[in-house]
Amino acid sequence: MPTITEERTVQIKDIVCDILELEPEEVTPTSLFKEDHDADSLRAIEILASLEKAFNITIDQSELPRMVNLEGVYTVVAESANWN
Amino acid sequence: MTQAANRVVITGLGVVSSMGLGVDEFRAGLRAGRDTARPITAFSTVGFDHANGCEITGFEPAAWITELVPAELGRASQFAVAAARMAIDDAALSVPRLRDARSLVTIGTTDGESRDLDGLVEVEVGQGPAAMDPVAARRVPAGRLAAAIAREFALTDTEAVTIPTACSAGNYAIGYGYDAVRSGEVDFALVGGADALCRKTFTGFYRLGTIAPQRCQPFDVDRKGILTGEGAGVLLLESEQSAKARGARIYAEVLGYGLSCDADHPVAPNQAGVARCMRLALENAGVKPDEVDFISAHGTGTKANDVTEAGAIRQVFGDTPPRTVSIKSMIGHSMGAASALASIGCALAITDGFIPPTINHNQTDPEINLDCVPNHAVEAELNVVQNNGLAFGGNNAVTVYGRYREAS
CA distance B208 to chain A (A): 7
Point out which residues pair with B260 in neighbouring strands: B396
Q: Searching chain B, which residue's CA lies closest to the CA of residue A64? A: B209
Contact B266 A45 (CB under 8 A): no
What's the mean pLDDT in B73-79? 98
User: Exposed, middle or buried: residue B77 (CB in 10 Å: 0-12, 13-18, 19+)?
Assistant: buried
Using a CB-CB cut-off of 8 Å, the residues of chain B touching A49 are 207
Give CA–CA dist B16/B230, Å, rounded: 8
Map out the domains of chain B with their CATH numbers.
8-245 (3.40.47.10), 256-402 (3.40.47.10)
The chain B residues in contact with chain A (CB within 8 A) are 207-209, 265-268
Catalytic residues of B: 167, 298, 333
β pairing state of B228-229 and B231-239: unpaired
pLDDT 10s digits, A47-59 = 999 999 999 999 9
pLDDT at B1: 45
- Whether the pLDDT of residue B270 is over 90: the answer is yes
- Whether the pLDDT of residue B82 is over 90: the answer is yes
Q: Searching chain A, which residue's CA lies closest to the CA of residue B207? A: A45
Helices A6-20 and A41-55 meet at what angle, rounded to 10?
Answer: 140
Q: Which of A41, A50, A51 to mutate to test the interface with B (most CBs of B within 10 A)?
A: A41
The percent of residues above 70 in pLDDT, for chain B, comes to 99
Alpha-carbon separation of residue A35 from A28, A30, A38, A42, B225 (angstroms): 13, 11, 6, 15, 27
* B353 band by pLDDT with thresholds 50, 70 and 90: very high
CA distance A45 to chain B (A): 7
3-state DSSP call for residue A83? coil
Q: How many CB atoms lie within 10 A of CB A9?
A: 16
CA distance A27 to chain B (A): 25
CA distance B363 to chain A (A): 23
pLDDT 10s digits, B114-138 = 999 999 999 999 999 999 999 999 9
The backbone torsions φ and ψ at residue B226, rounded to the nearest 5 degrees and listed phi first, read -90, 165
pLDDT 10s digits, B235-264 = 999 999 999 999 999 999 999 999 999 998
β pairing state of B8-17 and B20-21: antiparallel
Contact A45 B268 (CB under 8 A): no
pLDDT 10s digits, A8-37 = 999 999 999 999 999 999 999 999 999 999
Find out whether B343 and B336 touch, Cβ atoms under 8 Å. no
Sign for the pseudo-dihedral over CA of A62, A50, B210, B369: positive
- Whether the pLDDT of residue B91 is over 70: the answer is yes
- Whether the pLDDT of residue B2 is over 90: the answer is no
Map out the domains of chain A with their CATH numbers.
6-80 (1.10.1200.10)
* B3 band by pLDDT with thresholds 50, 70 and 90: low
The DSSP call for residue A68 is S
pLDDT at A6: 87
Smallest CA-to-CA distance from B400 within B389, B392, B390 is with: B389
CB nearest to A45's CB, from B207, B265, B266: B207
Find out whether B392 and B67 touch, Cβ atoms under 8 Å. no
pLDDT at B111: 97
pLDDT higher at B215 or A83: B215
Using a CB-CB cut-off of 8 Å, the residues of chain B touching A61 are 209
CB nearest to B266's CB, from A42, A45, A61: A42
Contact A42 B268 (CB under 8 A): no
Average pLDDT, chain B: 97
Using a CB-CB cut-off of 8 Å, the residues of chain B touching A42 are 208, 266-267
What's the mean pLDDT in B77-97? 98
pLDDT at B267: 84
CB nearest to B267's CB, from A42, A49, A61: A42
In sequence order, the 6+-apart residues with CB closer than 8 A to the CB of B121 are none
pLDDT at B408: 72
* A2 band by pLDDT with thresholds 50, 70 and 90: low
User: Exposed, middle or buried: residue B350 (CB in 10 Å: 0-12, 13-18, 19+)?
Assistant: buried
- Cα B72 from chain centre: 24
Contact A45 B209 (CB under 8 A): yes
Q: Searching chain A, which residue's CA lies closest to the CA of residue B210? A: A61
Alpha-carbon separation of residue A56 from A52, A71, B281, B369 (angstroms): 5, 20, 49, 42
Find out whether B348 and B355 touch, Cβ atoms under 8 Å. no
* A61 band by pLDDT with thresholds 50, 70 and 90: confident
Smallest CA-to-CA distance from B255 within B406, B388, B130, B402 is with: B402
pLDDT 10s digits, B160-170 = 999 999 999 99
Contact B266 A49 (CB under 8 A): no
pLDDT 10s digits, B24-64 = 999 999 999 999 999 999 999 998 999 999 999 999 999 99
The pTM of this model reads: 0.94
Can you say whether residue B177 is alpha, beta or left, with left for phi > 0 and alpha for psi between -120 and 50 degrees? alpha
CA distance B215 to chain A (A): 19
* B4 band by pLDDT with thresholds 50, 70 and 90: confident
